[in-house]
Structure 1
Amino acid sequence: MAAQPDPALALEVRMLSRMRAVRGAGARGGAGAARLYGGAGVLVTGGTGFLGRQLLEKLLRACNGIKKIYLLTRVKKGKSMEERLKEQMQDPVYDELRKTHPDFESKIEPIEGDITELRLGIKDEDWKKIADEITVIFHGAATVRFDEPLKVAVLTNVRSVREIIALGRECANLKSLVYYSTAYAHCNRQEIRETFYDCAVSPSAIIDFVETVDEKKIAAMEPILIEGWPNTYTYSKAIAEETLRTMGAGLPICVVRPAIVSPAIREPSPGWVDVSNCNGPSGVILGVGMGIIHTMLAKSDIHMDIVPVDCVNNLAIAASWETARRHALGEKDIQIYTLSRHRNHLTWEFLQNFCETKARKLISPAAVWYAYSLTTSSQLIYQLLTLFLHFIPAVLIDAVLIVLGKQLRLTRLYKRVYKINAIFLKHFVFHSWTNYDDNTLQLYNSLSEDDKQIFDFDIAKIDSDEFMSIWCLGLRKYIIKDNLQGTEKAIKRQAVLKVVNALVLVLYSFMLWKMFLWMFSGLNYLGTGLFLCVGSFFVTLCP
């Protein structure tokens, strides 16, 4: 009797089989969007990031006529831009492309630069070169850190937009400039439409402010300046949009506003993801699936506005074509395209239920403990659960690791998890927004049938169960790297760990209760000291 294929591997094969229609449409050359790039020179900023890598792969695979892609790259961690590019080309995102276009790297040329610098840090000769040759710009480079100092956020996310506009004005043959914003740029509003909104400060004023004022004074004024926004990232993105509106008049510009970006649902392969995407929801799902994260702070009825990375870039490419077409017809207004789950809601409750049921059938053999997580909307209860389920065990385990001569690991990990969930993601797991996507829907409906296949960004037709299954698949294949093998064994092991976990929790609860009694009875100074030390450590993490 033939052995049954691994469930995870079988799912991947089933998902890959659905790519035939896309490949067939691509072979026919499309009917519009891809043809914009015939003989085109393209500039991509942010091409080394999660969104940028997938965009680069899609452009080279689906838009065969591209002459050259200039990739703005900076020297980082002692590596030259050539070394960084060579390292990037080893990413699995390019595996499928390498099969069909083995010489694709010849079309990529790195340009040294830094978006935090004036003129994007580009040398004069390179500036002139790309100004003469490029026809399409994708500006996706940005800092996405929520806790970035205001000065850094403005210089990176706002001033770079001013500089990219200056470059665009010098391009003799510019047909389209696509700017990647975020669906949360105006999260100070409940309903967000595909339009520009007034800002409390002008781009020029805030740029001058951070360029000339002492950093300590900027930091002191930051809470007042960003009032209404949860962090400097969303605030700076709102001002970046205002920069486009006020300084980009007359240029063929469009804005793409994606919601939270998840692993790919189809391209270049189902579930493709890289480690940089694991600082948000992907990291949470990964942590729960590995048996490491056991508590979450969230409201169960909140809409999780999460969209696949390939849909984001498909929209960006289609929007670049539409922008060029509209500009050629004399339509000079800047269009905004939002990609959200406005017409296909996904709630936190659904995500939690999926992880508790169907995700267990895709569990990785690399899981270190029983996969479970307790979700609460109470900040106090979350802090207590974090203390008892994360930090106390982490301190005890790390104490053993110290004795064994190992480096501390769990306390650092849980501190980061707490920071992400209780500080960075808190605003987004307690609020829902209505992100209207009328322009995006109209653009999709205007595409030919072939282009709808090649550049699919219709979020409404995504099946949430399938979407989540592919997400789990991608985390296993590209982050855990378990070759999608050993699923059945992992499921059986989880059944055993469930019993062991229950016994451990009972014993652990009893020990904590005894420690609590000892602390107040004064019978055990060692227990009291340990409890106070752990409590003090936890207090330092609280916002």
Structure 2
Amino acid sequence: MFITASWKEPVPGWVDTINGPTGLFAGSAAGIFRTMYCHTQMTVDMIPGEFPVNLMVASAWDALNHNSSRQPINPTVFLASTGQNPVTWAQCEKIIYPMMFEYPFSRAVWPPGGSFKSNYLHHRLDQALYHFAPAYMLDGIIRLCGKKPFMVRLHKKAAKAMECVQFYTIREWRSRSDNTNSLIERMSDSDRAIFNFDSRTIDWNDYLCTYYLGVRKFILKDELHTLPAAKSHMRR
């Protein structure tokens, strides 16, 4: 399971790590990633960042409540979206891809593009053609300018990071959240609203758009005021 950007708290889209889908979205927006080995109909188990925190608060309340009344409790709770509100990699691509053109990265090295590949050989071919071939050419130009090359090193580092994500893009797991759902039922309506961790409430279109804008702002350090310049840069 991936713990990803926040949905609503502490601020929408807050994220501070490039692990998992975050690195994939950031690299694609920057024009670095043009291909990814992925079985697009498989589900991706991601949970907004505030959900685990809210679950821990609710679990502490629930344990204290049960201990005070001396009722037995099974303290094992799980957070998962795949079992009750699944989203596939194909859905992620369909929602995120247009966002990269509507809110482009102002310092992108190449316009957003590329796609998921279900065939590994096809992916490796595109990786050679669209990742490493341009990187070697750009490094050659950089050397001629008397500067230190970095593009090949950057792509090798990115490829290594994506190999870790690839373990999850070609596999899927179905998780049960029975104890978690029971805990939600024991909470009041107001507590559920304040300490939301119910994956059934996630609106994936809204969340993934918020997620991408968070990646652009907090990972790529691109504020919304750069949008006109970013769109102009993409058209060139």
TM more than 0.5: yes
What residue in structure 1 maps to residue 33 of structure 2?
293
CA contact (8 A) 1:312 1:457 kept: yes
Report the secondary structure of 2:7's partner residue: coil
Matches within 5 A, 1:72-83: none
CA contact (8 A) 1:314 1:457 kept: yes
Instruction: Report Cα offsets for 1:317-361 as digits up to 9, x if no partner.
Output: 111221222233445665221111122111111111223324421
Q: Aligned partners of 2:175, 2:63: CA distance in 1, in Å?
A: 21
What residue in structure 2 maps to residue 270 of structure 1?
12
Instruction: Report Cα offsets for 1:408-445 as digits up to 9, x if no partner.
Output: 322122112222223x2222111121101111111112
- Deviation of 1:489 (Å): 4.3
What residue in structure 2 maps to residue 167 of structure 1?
none
| Root mean square deviation, CA, Å | 1.9
Instruction: Report Cα offsets for 1:112-159 as digits up to 9, x if no partner.
Output: xxxxxxxxxxxxxxxxxxxxxxxxxxxxxxxxxxxxxxxxxxxxxxxx
Q: Aligned partners of 1:478, 1:290: CA distance in 2, in Å?
A: 14
What residue in structure 1 maps to residue 182 of structure 2?
442
State whether structure 2 residue 78 is matched by structure 1 residue 338: yes
Q: Aligned partners of 1:326, 1:406: CA distance in 2, in Å?
A: 65
Amino acid at match of 1:471: Y
Report the secondary structure of 1:418's partner residue: helix
Q: Aligned partners of 1:476, 1:425: CA distance in 2, in Å?
A: 20
Percent identical residues: 28
Report the secondary structure of 2:78's partner residue: strand
Q: Aligned partners of 2:69, 2:145: CA distance in 1, in Å?
A: 71
Given candidates 385, 391, 398, the residue that maps to 2:132 is: 391
What residue in structure 2 maps to residue 192 of structure 1?
none
- Deviation of 1:283 (Å): 0.6
State whether structure 2 residue 40 is matched by structure 1 residue 281: no
Matches within 5 A, 1:38-437: 259-274=1-16, 277-331=17-71, 334-341=74-81, 342-422=83-163, 424-437=164-177
Report the secondary structure of 2:18's partner residue: helix
CA contact (8 A) 1:298 1:430 kept: yes
Q: Aligned partners of 2:74, 2:91: CA distance in 1, in Å?
A: 36
Q: Aligned partners of 2:34, 2:150: CA distance in 1, in Å?
A: 17
In structure 1, list runs of 5 or more residues that go unmatched. 1-258, 498-543
Instruction: Report Cα offsets for 1:261-307 as digits up to 9, x if no partner.
Output: 11111111001111xx2022101101111111111110110101111
TM-score (norm 1): 0.41
Q: Aligned partners of 1:464, 1:346: CA distance in 2, in Å?
A: 7
In structure 2, list runs of 5 or more residues that go unmatched. none
Q: Aligned partners of 1:493, 1:398: CA distance in 2, in Å?
A: 21
Report the secondary structure of 1:272's partner residue: coil
Between Structure 1 and Structure 2, the one with more strand by share is: 1
CA contact (8 A) 2:99 2:212 kept: no
CA contact (8 A) 1:359 1:469 kept: no
Amino acid at match of 1:389: Y
Report the secondary structure of 1:265's partner residue: coil
Q: Aligned partners of 1:405, 1:332: CA distance in 2, in Å?
A: 71
Q: Aligned partners of 2:216, 2:97: CA distance in 1, in Å?
A: 17
CA contact (8 A) 2:34 2:113 kept: yes
Which has the higher relative contact order, 1 or 2, with Cα contacts under 8 A spaced 6 or more apart?
2
Q: Aligned partners of 1:282, 1:455: CA distance in 2, in Å?
A: 24
TM-score (norm 2): 0.91
State whether structure 2 residue 227 is matched by structure 1 residue 484: no
- Deviation of 1:464 (Å): 1.0
CA contact (8 A) 1:297 1:421 kept: no
> 1:405–1:336: structure 2 CA closer, same or farther, 3 Å change rule?
farther
